[in-house]
Amino acid sequence: MIVKGPLTSISLAILAVVTSAAPTSPLNARDASSSNGTSNNGLTDKVSWDGYSIYINNEPLTLLSGEFHYYRLPSPDLWTDIMQKYKALGFNGASFYFNWGYHSPKRGVYDFEGVRDVQKALDAAKASGIHVISRPGPYINAEVDCGGFPSWLMNIQSTTRQNSPEYEAAWSEWLTAIDKKYLVPNQITEGGPIIMQQVENEYSSNVSKEYMQAIIDKYKKDGIVVPTSFNEINNHSQNFINGTGAVDLYGWDNYPAGFDCSHPSKWGTDAIKTYREQHMKVNPDKPQALYEFQGGSFDPWGGPGYDNCRTMVNEKYAKIYYKNNLAQGVRIQSLYMGYGGTSWGGLATPSVYTSYDYGAPISEPGLMTPKGYEHKIQATFVHTLTKDITATTPFDVDGDNDALVYNGLQSVHSDTQFIIVQHNKSDSDNRDEFTVPINTKDGSFTLPRNSTLVLNGRDAKILVADYDFESQHLVYSTSEIFTHQSLGKMDVIVVYAYEGEDGEFALKAANGSAKATDGDITTSSADGVLQINYKHPNGTMPIEVTGAGDKDLLLLVAGYNSATRWWAPEVSARERVLIQGPYLVRDAKVSGSTLSFTGDIDATTDILVVAPDNVRSFRWNNKSVKLQKQSNGIWKGTLTFDKPNIQITDLSKATWKYKAGSPETAPDFDDSTWMVADHQDTNATVAPETKPVLYADDYGFHTGNLWFRGTFKGSSDITGLNVTAYSGDGSAWVAWLNGKYLGGYDVGSQVFKDLDLTDDDNVLSLLLWTTGHEEDGTKDDRFKSPRGFTKVETLGSNTTISWKVQGNLGGEDLADPVRGAYNEGGLYGEREGWHLPGFDDGDWESATIPDDKNRTGVSWFRTTFKADVPKGYDAPLGLTFEDKSEQRYRALVFVNGWQLGRYANDLGPQKTYYLPEGIVNVNNGENTLAVAVIPLDESSQIGTLSLEPYLVLESGKPNVGLVDSPKYSKRK
Ligand code: GAL
Which residue among the candidates 202, 232, 480, 917 is catalytic per the annotation? 202
Q: What local confidence, expressed as pLDDT, does residue 885 receive?
A: 80
**Ligand 1, residues 202, 204, 261, 339: which to mutate, most atoms within 8 A of Cβ?**
202
- Residue 208 dihedral angles phi and psi, to the nearest 5°: -110, 115
Q: With the C-alpha atoms ordered 818, 822, 823, 828, is the resulting torsion angle positive or negative?
A: positive
pLDDT for residue 14 = 33
**Contact (CB, 8 A) for 239 and 231:** no
Instruction: Determine if the pTM surpasses 0.85.
Output: yes
Alpha carbon of 450 to ligand 1 centroid (Å) = 47
- Compute φ and ψ for 714, nearest 5 degrees: -80, 150
- Distance separating alpha carbons of residues 787 and 771, to the nearest angstrom: 9
Around ligand 1, the residues with Cβ closer than 6 Å are 140-143, 201-202, 253, 292, 298, 336
d(CA 814, CA 819): 9
> Fold match between 647-659+827-955 and 663-806?
yes
Residue 217's CB is within 10 A of a number of other CB atoms, namely: 11
Nearest CA to ligand 1 atom 10: 142
Distance 293 CA to ligand 1 centre (A): 10
pLDDT of residue 573: 85
DSSP secondary structure letters along 286-354: S-EEEEEEESS----TT---HHHHHHHT-HHHIIIIIHHHHHTTEEEEEEEEEE--B--TT-B-TTS-S
Q: Give domain 663-806's CATH number out of 3.40.50.720, 2.60.40.10, 2.60.120.1030, 2.60.120.260.
A: 2.60.120.260
Please give the pLDDT value at position 9: 35
DSSP 8-state code for residue 783: G
Given a cut of 70, the residues of the chain with pLDDT beneath it are: 1-30, 235-236
Catalytic residue among 232, 292, 315, 830: 292
Whether the CB-CB separation of 346 and 101 falls below 8 Å is answered with no
Residue spans of the domains in the chain: they are: 60-387, 391-568, 569-601+604-640, 647-659+827-955, 663-806
* pLDDT at res. 235: 67
User: Phi, psi at residue 614, to the nearest 5°?
Assistant: -75, -10
CATH topology assigned to domain 569-601+604-640: beta-galactosidase, domain 3 (2.60.390)
User: Whose alpha carbon is nearest atom 9 of ligand 1?
Assistant: 142
C-alpha 805/C-alpha 807 separation (Å) is: 7
Pairing of strands 694-695, 788-795: antiparallel
Compute, in angstroms, the gap from residue 728 CA to the centroid of ligand 1.
18
Mode of pairing for the β-strands spanning 694-695 and 706-713:
unpaired
Q: What is the pLDDT of residue 73?
A: 98
Residue 1: what pLDDT? Answer: 27
The class (CATH top level) of 647-659+827-955 is: mainly beta
CA of 141 to the centre of ligand 1 (A): 6
Distance, in Å, from the CA atom of 443 to the CA atom of 668, rounded to the nearest integer, reads: 94
Q: What is the pLDDT of residue 808?
A: 98
> 233 CA to middle of ligand 1, Å?
9
Q: Is the peptide bond before 692 cis (omega within 30 degrees of 0)?
A: yes
What gap in Å lies between CA 493 and CA 698, rounded to an integer? 64
Pick the CATH number of 391-568 from 2.102.20.10, 3.40.50.10490, 3.90.25.10, 3.30.465.10: 2.102.20.10
Which atom belonging to ligand 1 lies closest to the Cα atom of 140? 9
Per-residue b/e over 890-920, b at no fewer than 16 CB within 10 Å? bbbbbbbbbbbbbbbbbbbbbbbbbbbbbbb
Pairing status of strand 404-411 against strand 436-440? unpaired
The pLDDT of residue 574 is 83
The pLDDT value recorded for residue 236 is 62
What value, to the nearest 5°, has the Cα angle with vertex 443 and ends 438 and 445? 40
Catalytic residue status for 292: yes
Return d(Cα 228, Cα 201) in angstroms, integer: 12
Q: How far apart are CA 783 and CA 151, in angstroms?
A: 9
Contacts of 65 (CB under 8 A, 6+ apart): 91, 92, 93, 94, 95, 131, 133, 332, 333, 334, 335, 338
Active site residue 190: no
Q: How many residues does the chain have?
A: 972
DSSP character at residue 182: I
**Neighbouring C-beta atoms of residue 307, cutoff 10 Å:** 15
- Give the three-state DSSP class for 530: strand
CATH architecture of the domain 60-387 equals: Alpha-Beta Barrel (3.20)
Q: What is the pLDDT of residue 21?
A: 33
Structure confidence at residue 2 (pLDDT): 31
Ligand 1, from 292, 347, 349: best to mutate by most atoms within 8 Å of Cβ? 292
Q: Measuring CA to CA, which residue among 513, 568, 563 is closest to residue 543?
A: 513
Residues 6+ apart with CB under 8 A from 94: 65, 66, 67, 68, 83, 86, 125, 130, 131, 132, 133, 338
Residue 7's pLDDT is 33
863 vs 859: CA distance, rounded Å: 14
Residue 28: the pLDDT is 46
